[in-house]
């Protein structure tokens, strides 16, 4: 509940700061002799940029106020509730200071401008200068520095452990894949011999070879899908090369196996390279 209140007050303070800056700019332009229609035309384009900048700023503030980002040991001052109240209330405190500085003046028309200037100056001093300086000072404390070093060391150890876990997982996957391929090698060896004989046209016409090759392709698909079919094809081509029959062989497996599972034929049959 308190965090929601802080965020709401901070949002209102940011809106108040923007209004004050807009008042200062409009007053400066009027004193420079610009007419109201010029001021309105300029404000229309700048409003979009201001909205984007404020949205990015509030997004950063929202992320910075999450519990995971609050490290009280490293920031013993800026993480306290008192400092947060002071930080988010700075625009309003600056406006009150500007108003107090004009007490007793007879020119009431200067009150809005004085409040706006007080808001701008106080917010700039606290948000831009004081808050970063306090944050740097907190990091110099021995306790903060030690805790930060330990936190960084834990983060590095965690990243290292995650990297090692990924490497072990990858090695396990590769090991299983290699073992699977060795099993396929033993299962497919007789079929690879038959397919190699079909590729060189031993003892069968083309139609009969196509039917037998299709049956072999179905067996390979049922054994391990397209990867198994590809391995069987490679084994058959390697047998052709080892026998010295590659020059007289043509790779018809792409055509013979077209439509089996996810296998699709290439445009033309390929000659087996030596």
List, in order, residues 6 or more apart from 129 with CB less than 8 Å away.
none
| Domain contains 130 | yes
45 in any annotated domain = yes
Residues 107 and 232 placed together within one structural domain of the fold: no
- Verify that 27 and 113 share a domain, yes or no: yes
Domain boundary among 107, 140, 173: 140
Residues 8 and 130 in one domain: yes
pLDDT at 254 over 50: yes
What is the count of structural domains for the chain? 2
Please report whether residue 154 resides in a domain: no
Q: Quick one: how far is CA 214 from the chain centroid?
A: 46
pLDDT number for residue 70: 46
Rounded to whole angstroms, how far apart are CA atoms 141 and 75? 9
Q: 8-57 pLDDT, tens per residue?
A: 887 788 888 888 877 877 777 666 665 655 545 555 555 555 555 565 55
**Pair (10, 133) in one structural domain:** yes
Q: What is the pLDDT of residue 69?
A: 44
My answer on whether 126 and 237 are in the same domain is no
- Whether residue 8 is found in the same domain as residue 129: yes
Residues 129 and 7 in one domain: yes
Is residue 120 located within the same domain as residue 186? Answer: no
In a domain, 150, yes or no: no
Residue 67, judged by CB atoms within 10 A of its CB (0-12, 13-18, 19+), counts as exposed
Q: Is residue 153 one of the residues assigned to a domain?
A: no
CA separation for the pair 32, 44 (Å, rounded): 19
Percent of the chain at pLDDT above 70?
A: 74
Would 107 be classed as within a structural domain?
yes
Does 189 share its domain with 253? yes
What pLDDT is stored for residue 239 in this prediction? 87
- If one compares 105 and 131, the residue with the highest pLDDT of the two is 131
Give pLDDT tens digits for 202-229.
Answer: 555 677 888 888 899 999 998 888 889 9
Parent domain of 82: 2-140
Among the ranges given (4-8, 96-100, 246-250), the one the predictor scored with the smallest mean pLDDT: 246-250
Q: Is the domain of 199 the same as that of 110?
A: no
**Interatomic CA distance for residues 13 and 233, integer angstroms:** 72
- Of 189, 255, 174, 184, the C-alpha closest to 221 is 184
User: What percent of the chain is modeled with pLDDT above 90?
Assistant: 9
Domain membership flag for residue 114: yes
Q: Are residues 126 and 210 in the same domain?
A: no
Closest CA to 32 of 41, 24, 20: 24
Same domain, 108 and 186: no
In a domain, 66, yes or no: yes
Cα→Cα distances 26→36, 94, 168, Å: 9, 20, 64
Q: Is 269 strand, coil or helix? A: coil
pLDDT in tens, 152-161: 898 899 999 9
User: Cβ–Cβ contacts within 10 Å for residue 53, how many?
Assistant: 11
The CA distance from 173 to 224, in Å, is: 16
Tell me how far apart the alpha carbons of residues 214 and 206 are, in angstroms, rounded to a whole number: 12
């Amino acid at each position: 509940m308190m965090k929601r209140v802080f965020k709401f007050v901070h949002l209102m303070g940011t809106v108040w700061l923007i209004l004050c800056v807009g008042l200062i700019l409009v007053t400066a332009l009027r004193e420079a002799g610009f007419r109201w229609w010029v001021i309105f035309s300029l404000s229309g384009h700048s409003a979009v940029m201001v909205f984007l900048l404020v949205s990015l700023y509030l997004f950063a503030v929202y992320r910075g106020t999450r519990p995971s980002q609050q490290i009280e040991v490293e920031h013993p001052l800026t993480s306290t509730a008192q400092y947060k109240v002071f930080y988010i209330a700075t625009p309003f405190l600056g406006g009150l200071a500007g108003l107090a500085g004009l007490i007793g003046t007879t020119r009431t028309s200067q009150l809005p401008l004085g409040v706006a200037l007080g808001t701008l100056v106080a917010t700039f001093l606290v948000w831009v200068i004081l808050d970063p300086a306090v944050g740097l000072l907190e990091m110099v404390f021995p306790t903060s520095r030690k805790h930060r070093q330990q936190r960084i060391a834990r983060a590095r150890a965690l990243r290292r452990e995650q990297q090692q876990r990924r490497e072990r997982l990858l090695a396990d996957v590769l090991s299983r894949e290699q073992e699977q391929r060795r099993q396929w090698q033993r299962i497919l060896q007789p079929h690879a011999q038959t397919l190699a004989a079909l590729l060189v046209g031993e003892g069968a016409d083309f139609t009969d070879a196509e039917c037998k090759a299709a049956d072999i392709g179905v067996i390979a698909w049922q054994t391990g899908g397209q990867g198994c079919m590809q391995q069987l094809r490679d084994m058959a081509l390697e047998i052709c090369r080892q026998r010295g029959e590659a020059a007289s062989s043509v790779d018809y497996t792409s055509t013979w196996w077209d439509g089996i599972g996810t296998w699709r034929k290439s445009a033309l049959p390929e000659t087996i390279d030596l």
